[in-house]
Structure formats: C-alpha cells, structure tokens
Amino acid sequence: MSKIVLIGLLCLIVNIGFSQEQNSIKQEQDSIKQEQDSIKQYNLNEVVISVTRSNTRLKNIPQKAEVIGQAQLRELPATNMADVLKNATNLDIIQYPGLSSSIGMRGFSPSAHSRSHTLILIDGKPMGTTNISTLDKDIVKRVEIIKGPYSTFYGSDAMGGVINIITKSPSKNNTGNTEVSFGSFDNLRLSGNINGVLSKKSSFLIGFIRNQQRNDYKIGSHNLLKIPEKDKLILDKASYGDVIKNSTWQYNQAYGQYNYNINEKWTSNTQIIYFNANDVKLPGSYWGSFGQSKKDIDRINLYETLTRKSKKNNFYFSPYYTKELNKNYNNNSDTSFVSFKSNLRQYGFKMNDNILFGNFKLLTGTDLDIYNYQSDRFKGKAIPTNPYSPNYQNTTLAIFSQLSYSKGGFAANAGVRYNYINYHVDKNELLKGTGGSRHYNVFNPSAGAQYTFPFHLKLHSSYGTGFSVPDAFKVAGFYAISEYFAAWNFWWTKNYLGNPDLKPESSSTVDFGATYSTSNKLLLFDATYFITKDKNKIIESALDSAMVNNKMVYNVTSYKNADNSTKNGIELMASINIGALYNNKFKLEFYGKLTHMFNNTVDETLRSSTGNDSIVKRDLLYVRKSNAIFGINYDNYKGFSTRLNARYIGPRLERDYFSGLRPGLTVGDYYTGGGYTAKDKILKFPKHLVFDYYVSYTIKNYRFGINISNLFDENYTEKDGYNMPGRTIMANFNFKF
C-alpha cells in the first residue's frame, strides 16, 4: 500500500511540473535529440581526463586509463558505486551486506577495514572513506580509472591506482528529473534533481535519493560453472536459495552544486554531498556469527573549487573537508547501545597551475592533506572502555611537478613529488597510551611515453612509484588494549609500541602495451603487461620487552618493514561495434575486459619465539587470479537500448575464520599450494559467472526500464561467509522536465 501512495504522490508532482513547464520540456526534447546525435559521434579518445590534474585528452595519456561513461552508468543494474565498479571494470572487491565494500586493483588486496592501496576521489578530492558503497551512482557523470601507481599526483594510498568519480554539474538549462524504482526484496528507490539558471553568471544543481531494501535478501540457488563438492561446502550447501537474515538497509543521499562565473577567466564552484544511513542491519555472516547487530553512517563532503582559465594558463585551487561518523551497536534490538563509534575527518587543499608553451605543458602544484581518526568504545550505555587504538592524525604537505610533451603521434610526460609527512598520536588514559609524534620525507617520480603510428597502432609504456603511509600509532607512541573475560576470570592484555624507524610501504611499476583502434570506431583492442615490485611491507613484530617512560614493558607487539611482494599480469580490452559499418546509425557493440595475474606473491616473515625468523613466499590473499567482464550492448539511438553484461569472478584465497560452521568441510579441504600448509587454514574459493541484464525505452521525456541483477541466480561471495543476493529484478520509471 505504501508503494502505491508514494508512486501516486510522485506522479502528482510530475503532472504539476508537466503543466507548468511546457517550454522547459520542449527545450529538454531538443537537448535529448542533440544528445542522441552527439552519442553517434562520440569519440572516447577526445575525453579530457581530469585525474591527470593537467586536463589531458585520453589519447595523450601513456598511463593505462579507462572511462565509464554516462550511458554505461545508466545501463548497469546497480545503485551504488561498488556495484558499478565491479560490473564495469575488472577490479577486485571485498563486499559485505550492510553497505560496506572496498576496491583493489592490479594485485593489491582491497580492505574494508583499513586504508586502501587504491585511492578514491570525488572530482579530484579525497572521498573521505574507502567504503565505495556509500556513494549513489545517480550523482555521477562519469568515472576515470588510472591503473598503476599515481602517487606523483595524489600521494599516499595511490599504489594500485586511482578512481576519480566525476559528479554531475549544473547545466545551462532549467531542467529536472524524477525517477522511481521498485522490485525484489521490497526495494523502493526514489530520486530527483533540479537544475536551475539564476543568471548569466550563476547556476545550481540539487538532488535527493532515497533507497531502501525492506526485506532480507535471498541467496542465489545455482552455479553456472560446474564446481566440485568441496566448493559447495565452502559456500555451504544449505545456503543455496536461503535467506540472509538481518540484511535490510536504507539510506538517503542529498547533493548540491552552485556554480558562479566571476568573469571571463575566473569560476567558482561550491559542492556538498551528504550521506545518511540509519538502522543498517548487519547479519554478521551467513551463519550469524560475530553477532547480528546494526549500524549508522553519516558522512558529509564539502568541496570548494576556484579556477582561472586562459589560453596559456589554467590555475586550480580547491579546499575540501570530509567527515564520516560510524556508530556500531551491540545488537539489533530497540534497547541496543552504541558499542563502538569512529569519527574520520579528512581536510586540506589541492592547488596546481598548468602553463602551456608550444607543445609543452608544465604542471606545478602543492597539496595539504590531513587525516584525523578518533574512536570510542563502550561496554554499556555511555560506559566507556578502552578503544581498539588511540586517536591519531597524519599530516602531509607536498609539492609536485610534471612536464608533458605532445606533437604528432608522440606524447610523453615525467614528474616528481616530494612529501613531508608528520605523525601525531594522542595520549589515552584508558589505553595507558603515551602519545608521540614523528615525521619523514618521501619522493615519488613517474614517467610515460607513447607513439601512435599512422595505421592506428599505438605503443605505450609508463613507470611510476607509489607509497602508502602507515597509521600514526604504528610509528609513534605506546598503548595497551585490555579485555576482561568473566567466564574465566581472566584479563587479556596486549601492548603495542610504535616504531619511529618505520618506513612507508612503497612500490614501483612498469607497464607497456599496444592499442589498435579504427577511425570509424569499429574496432578497439588493447593489451598491457605490468610488473610491480613492493618493498617495506609493514608487518607486526613481537618484542620480548621494551622500555616505555623509563619502565620495562613485556610481551610487546611493534611493527617493522620486512616483506616484499611481486605482482605481474596482463590486461586485455577489446570491443567491436557493428554499427560503425552502417555510418553509426545505431550501436551494436560486443566488448570484453580481462585482468590475469601471472604472479602475485608476498615474502612473508614467519616469526619464531627463538628469534630465528624465516621467510616464505606466499600467494597474496583476497586477490583473484583472473577478473573479466564481457557483454553485448545495443542502442538504436531512437529510444531503445539493451545490455547483457557478464562478470567472470576468478578463484581467490582467504583464511578460514568460520571453521566448524561449515558442515562437511575437513582439514583435507584446505589449500596447500602457494606456500601454505593445512595449518594455515586457507580456502580456495571457486570461480563464478554472474550475468546482468538491462532494457529501456525512451519516448519523449519518459523512460521505462527493467534491471535484472544476477540474471541466472548465482550463489557466490565477494567475502567469505557473506553470500551475495540472488536474482534481483527492478523496474524503473524516469521523467525529465
């Protein structure tokens, strides 16, 4: 009944808008026709990539870059950016029920619980979280993906690559858009936005999204690829077609931009994004382990951008502020209390200047990035206990420069970045924390070159370095975590000591490849080989004792740089558009992307109580051997479009944290290759094939569509114990005015 009321209200609003905005609709119809005409002539190579900070065309970037455009965003059966990225490009992902996920690429493991090696930006500024599930795709215009280290431009956390999410911005017309979607698991989604022109100099865009899943979701019932009985035991045979209990959620996202043209050269843009999710249910796992609870998420992103553009010079200055507050409850009842809360703030500014002289472009700039983390833990309502780590802050001040050259078929760039990093850890009485500060310096060079031959073959190669800073408490200070276990009348205590000599994790990557594309957009093919060397990987180090404030402390855990890692693989991308043979009057495109890892190992130090540590080479966890997407896309440019998209999920390794919960799984089922033994309890997860389907028809200003996620009802996981939703059908109606 509530669905009918909401849809009726929406239709009423639409009809009122229709009667009052006839002229605007006519303008929108004209713009739709122009948009369809431009799609026919769309040339991806001419897209300007802003993540380079020098606004370089895609065709002139030697580094491996990909773009997810507006049409693909609309056609993917996804609502948040986690689902978009895993279905549109071949990346690794860790994903949980309860709006939680993180992305990794080129062999770097994703992590949903700590800072990542893949940097996520919104319009070139930090998103303020690694949880990509908390950004709705409705506010996104396109996505830029740079694969390989990009620390020269963005500093820490860009070792694997950078994902830059470009949001929708105000246009030159008074327009609006409303959409309603509903479907499986009692999912209801409402969204809308309004674009307004206030004067010749100013315009705005505001929007709102309400999305909720009000029933627990059902797990898939089948496997398209034949998998052995052992793999079915890993997924748990009982999970096929079962329901994940306590998996409902809801969120709201509001966004707005105000653009003001100060004069012919200067422009100001103010942007706000707000995300709120209350009472998000957490199932724990399929078996309900780790407790069934709930959480709240609140995040705000504030960005200001000031630009000056002229023929020979582009200046850019953008201060930013992000804040994310997470609250976790001890259970999912109405009488639950907040057992843990964290407050993450990131703020600073990005500033750079582009100077063009002849065929050269000089980019110079400076960044200030501050990462502040605070947390509290409670053993009862408003009864504090020691947190899991002290509060801390990382501050980075950097200067960077890059020189680019482009003439004819040749393009090249070379750059360097200097980072001054300061760590500060707060004192904490509950943790017996001493606090402290440390600092050090990091340099990051990069270079790339490419040459395009007259017969449409392009050879490209790049070299880059990256780094990832440790959390401040790993570098400075001392703290102790204690926990009382009443059942055994026992206090468990663990002491942690920062290492002032700790270095950031660092990497160097070389890639080279070839691209072939026809001028009429009929064929595109790219093959890129990459190899990455990591060093100074940070691991825990056991100390028998340590002196803290002139007092001897025993059984101490510290940190050290020890392990190195080697990653190499190949990335393939191909598409063929039959419509190009018919003067691009329609699109009939077959496409595919593949990342295959030849080697992804880490030299892991095995600690010994006698001090005789040993090093063993092991396959990296949470990274799939292969990831691929492929499909077919048809658009007649007259209102009808459809897409069948498939995702191949290759095998991955994970440690078994649910031993004893899987019926029938024995010690003999553990993975014993790649440097592991049965004692390590490593599971090799099966490969999967997941299909999605989309179809829509647009008539004038109305669009009707159907999205089907997991078309063939596959039972699969992105993280052990958290089986993903089965077949999900969503119908949507969109109206532009």
Q: How confident is the model at residue 297 (pLDDT cuts 50, 70, 90)?
A: very high
Nearest alpha-carbon partner for 529 in 596, 574, 593, 591: 596
Token pair listed for 271:
């942007």
- Tell whether the model's pLDDT for residue 245 goes beyond 70: yes
- Tell whether the model's pLDDT for residue 161 goes beyond 50: yes
372 class by beta-carbon count within 10 Å (0-12 exposed, 13-18 middle, 19+ buried):
middle
Distance separating alpha carbons of residues 676 and 655, to the nearest angstrom: 11
- Tell whether the model's pLDDT for residue 150 goes beyond 50: yes
- What single DSSP character describes residue 724? P
Facing residues of 627 across strands? 595, 649
SS (HEC) of 193-240: EEEEECCCCEEEEEEEEEEEECCCCEECCECCCCCCHHHHHHHCHHHC
Of the listed ranges 10-24, 222-236, 263-277, the one predicted with least confidence: 10-24
- Tell whether the model's pLDDT for residue 461 goes beyond 80: yes
Torsion 30-32-34-37 (CA) sign: negative
pLDDT tens for each residue of 19-74: 333 333 333 344 434 344 333 444 555 677 777 787 778 778 888 888 898 888 88
Distance separating alpha carbons of residues 311 and 327, to the nearest angstrom: 49
Nearest alpha-carbon partner for 537 in 567, 570, 511: 567
pLDDT tens for each residue of 577-593: 999 999 999 999 999 99
Strands (E), 549-639: 551-577, 587-606, 614-619, 626-635
Distance separating alpha carbons of residues 267 and 682, to the nearest angstrom: 55
Of the listed ranges 101-105, 157-161, 416-420, 590-594, the one predicted with least confidence: 157-161
Q: How confident is the model at residue 17 (pLDDT cuts 50, 70, 90)?
A: very low
Q: How many CA atoms lie within 13 A of 714 on its CB side?
A: 23
Facing residues of 666 across strands? none
Amino acid at 597: M
Mean pLDDT of the chain: 87
- Confidence at residue 109, expressed as pLDDT on a 0 to 100 scale: 83
Distances (CA, A) of 43 to 38, 411, 524: 9, 19, 12
Q: Classify domain 2-736 at the CATH topology level.
A: Maltoporin; Chain A (2.40.170)
- Length of the chain in terms of residues written: 737
